[in-house]
Chains A and B, each alone.
Chain A
């Protein structure tokens, strides 16, 4: 699996957009970028994923660079409940793929402040 690099921590003001970067320079052509988050003491929660096009859902937007070596997760209007550790993960899709397992790195600890 491709390795990812994320900032250790970042602060964000409530109501403002939070932009979380992730570097994955060794990503291969069949690997997707997934984002999960873990709120304190809870199980990880899926946020969004993408291959090469930008993606948006009710939680966030995912911007992937054209060369796919990096991506940014955008929380458009951060709330206090968005305080969590955010994990960027690259993996192949599909139960049969050898790289199907999620490999969690250290993630980015995001603190949303009032």
Chain B
């Protein structure tokens, strides 16, 4: 198993540009989520999904969209990037059938100029 994969690892955007952060998991987990982590801070939940076709907002959803068309993929879209969105983004999937353990991807480091 590859676990949770994220692409790209690094990205630089200009203010106003849009982009999609990719996240995929091969563990057949229903629950997936996106977090952001600002320097020196803990993780904050952006959006999550409890299964294909179902998404919901977390603590800091503004400026981000998500969709979940398949169990495996959970992309995060930035519609119009702002400097305040400079952060490290982590995707996670949850083994909700047993231990509720969350498995995190390696992260995408995003800088918005």
**Interface residue ranges, A against B (CB under 8 Å):** 32, 34, 36, 41-46, 49, 87, 91, 93-96, 100-107
Contacts and interface: CB of A to CB of B under 8 A. Distances in A.
What DSSP secondary structure best describes chain A's contact surface? loop
Contacts, number: 58
Contact of B31 (A34, A49, A100, A106): A100
Given A44-B90, A100-B31, A95 B102 contact: no
Give chain B's interface residue range (CB within 8 Å of chain A).
20 to 34
B105 A100 contact: no
A46 B102 contact: yes
B100 A44 contact: no
B11 to A, nearest CB: 16
Contacts of A91: 100
B33 to A, nearest CB: 7
B94 A95 contact: yes
A102 B37 CA distance: 13
Given A95-B31, A100-B31, A44 B96 contact: no
